[in-house]
Amino acid sequence: MNIATIGTSTITERFVDAIGKTNALTFAGAYSRTADKAEKLGAPRIFTDLKDLADDASIDVVYIASPNSLHFEQALFLMKHKKHIICEKPMFSTSVELAEAFKTADENNVFLFEAFRNLYTPNHDRLKGAIEKVGPVRHSFLQYMKYSSRYDNVLAGEEPNIFSPKFSGGALVDLGVYPISLAVSLFGKPEKISAHVTMLPTGVDGSGSVILDYGTHTCTTMFSKITDSYLPGEISGENGTIVIDHVAPISSIEFSSRLSGEKEQLAITEEENDMMYEAEAVALAIESNDRKMYQDYRNVSEIVLQITEEARKQNKIVFGAEAE
């Protein structure tokens, strides 16, 4: 299958590199309003008009990595032209957009995947399969905190896209979705949430936490784009504890048994560019019309957006898409 990209940031470059490491997809084109930027990706065909990309029958799939607020309009337009979509997280700004997008995907018999790269990897599957080792889960802690150089622009009085409510920015939807999506994948939908954030003068959050209440256990997720953290993740149960080095990528999964006192390393060595697993999984799902796999990932996207939307509501963070 042939794939084209939208966006010219580092994440797009990484995705193009991932495509080159797998035979699942062929990089066939790149869209950008500026041709020079798209040419740097090495695409055989350059699009500067989205309609030209939509009308190109040779393109089967489109990877969208434009500013967050543009995802919805671009995805809808392309799906109406029978293109399958892999959209970078956060896929959309609101649950209303998400529902309409999935409806459009169904109407046009195409798949719409959110690019939660951490959920497609072998070590994610190994972690999920190991949860039963800890017995009844009582607490979990997952975090993604990494200082963004764009925060320097905020400190200088500017409003870069990633920290702008107009472009659906903020640490919660940029990095917070990693630990939140992992929690949803492992434990499902929480009964309720409680969110606390550090607000920036731009009108979005710079850091914070979302506590997911599962009734019998609590999952604490933390996120930041204005600080760094080196804390591991942890899943604690009555029979033992699993410690992971990070939520994306997961390189170490260590199980410590409370019963025997023994420790066991469960992770395997993955490819350095873990986006290749995402590309392979999505391509296989499309080619085999794997509706169950598609529905599983779709459910995760729906729950994650419900959580982030409620977290923003609790902290009065309003995106441009909601204010219009």
pLDDT tens digits, one per residue of 95-146: 999 999 999 999 999 999 999 999 999 999 999 999 999 999 999 999 999 9
Q: What is residue 323's predicted lDDT score, i.e. its pLDDT? A: 72
- Show the domain range for 200: 119-277+302-323
- Edge-first strand order for the sheet with 112-114 is 46-47, 26-31, 2-6, 61-64, 84-87, 112-114
- Asked if residue 213 and residue 66 are part of one domain, the reply reads no
Contacts of 13 (CB under 8 A, 6+ apart): 41
The shares of helix, strand and coil residues in the chain, as percent rounded to the nearest 5, are 40, 25, 35
Q: What is residue 112's predicted lDDT score, i.e. its pLDDT? A: 98
Query: Alpha-carbon distance 110 to 96, whole Å?
Result: 19
Grouping H, G, I as helix, E, B as strand and the rest as coil, residue 223 is strand
Confidence category of residue 245, pLDDT binned at 50, 70, 90: very high
- Asked if residue 50 and residue 130 are part of one domain, the reply reads no
Q: Is 215 left (phi over 0), alpha (psi -120 to 50) or beta?
A: left
Q: What is residue 34's predicted lDDT score, i.e. its pLDDT? A: 87
pLDDT above 70 coverage of the chain, percent: 100
- Asked if residue 270 and residue 127 are part of one domain, the reply reads yes
Q: What is the pLDDT of residues 199-216, one digit of tens each?
A: 999 999 999 999 999 999
- Which of 85, 110, 135 terminates a domain? The answer is 110
Contacts of 161 (CB under 8 A, 6+ apart): 67, 68, 167, 169
- Asked if residue 77 and residue 190 are part of one domain, the reply reads no
Q: In b/e form, how buried is each residue of 83-107, taking b as 16+ CB within 10 angstroms?
A: bbbbbbbbbbbbeebbeebbebbee
- Asked if residue 307 and residue 237 are part of one domain, the reply reads yes
Residue 216 lies in a domain: yes
- Asked if residue 146 and residue 72 are part of one domain, the reply reads no
Residue 182 lies in a domain: yes
Residue 254 lies in a domain: yes
Q: CB under 8 Å, gap of 24 or more: what pairs does 22-28 form?
A: 22/276, 22/279, 22/280, 22/283, 24/279, 24/280, 24/283, 24/284, 25/1, 25/61, 25/279, 25/283, 26/1, 26/2, 27/3, 28/2, 28/3, 28/4, 28/58, 28/59
Confidence category of residue 276, pLDDT binned at 50, 70, 90: very high
Rounded to an integer, the average pLDDT of 233-245 is 98
- Which of 61, 91, 110 terminates a domain? The answer is 110
Q: What is the pLDDT of residues 61-100, one digit of tens each?
A: 999 999 999 999 999 999 999 999 999 999 999 999 999 9
* pTM listed for this prediction: 0.96
Residue 314 lies in a domain: yes
Please state the φ and ψ torsions of residue 233, each to the nearest 5 degrees. Answer: -90, 160
pLDDT above 90 coverage of the chain, percent: 96
- Asked if residue 139 and residue 51 are part of one domain, the reply reads no
- Asked if residue 234 and residue 145 are part of one domain, the reply reads yes
Query: Alpha-carbon distance 156 to 164, whole Å?
Result: 14
Question: DSSP for 21-35?
Answer: T-SS-EEEEEE-SSH
Grouping H, G, I as helix, E, B as strand and the rest as coil, residue 225 is coil
- Asked if residue 155 and residue 39 are part of one domain, the reply reads no
Query: Alpha-carbon distance 309 to 303, whole Å?
Result: 10
The answer to whether the CB of 39 falls within 8 A of the CB of 46 is yes
* CATH label of the domain that carries residue 39: 3.40.50.720
Rounded to an integer, the average pLDDT of 164-180 is 98
* CATH label of the domain that carries residue 129: 3.30.360.10
Strands in the chain per DSSP E:
2-6, 26-31, 46-47, 61-64, 84-87, 112-114, 137-145, 192-199, 205-213, 218-224, 233-237, 240-244, 253-257, 263-265
- Asked if residue 208 and residue 164 are part of one domain, the reply reads yes
Q: What is residue 324's predicted lDDT score, i.e. its pLDDT? A: 57
Asked if pLDDT for residue 299 goes beyond 90, the answer is: yes
Confidence category of residue 233, pLDDT binned at 50, 70, 90: very high
Confidence category of residue 275, pLDDT binned at 50, 70, 90: very high
- Asked if residue 232 and residue 95 are part of one domain, the reply reads no
Residue type, 309: E
Query: Alpha-carbon distance 188 to 103, whole Å?
Result: 23
Confidence category of residue 37, pLDDT binned at 50, 70, 90: confident
Domain count of the fold of the chain: 2
Residue 11 lies in a domain: yes
The answer to whether the CB of 134 falls within 8 A of the CB of 216 is no
- Which of 69, 89, 110 terminates a domain? The answer is 110
**Number of other residues whose CB lies within 10 A of the CB of residue 320:** 16
Residue 253 lies in a domain: yes
- Asked if residue 125 and residue 78 are part of one domain, the reply reads no
Grouping H, G, I as helix, E, B as strand and the rest as coil, residue 89 is coil
Q: What is residue 121's predicted lDDT score, i.e. its pLDDT? A: 98
Q: What is the pLDDT of residues 38-48, one digit of tens each?
A: 899 999 999 99
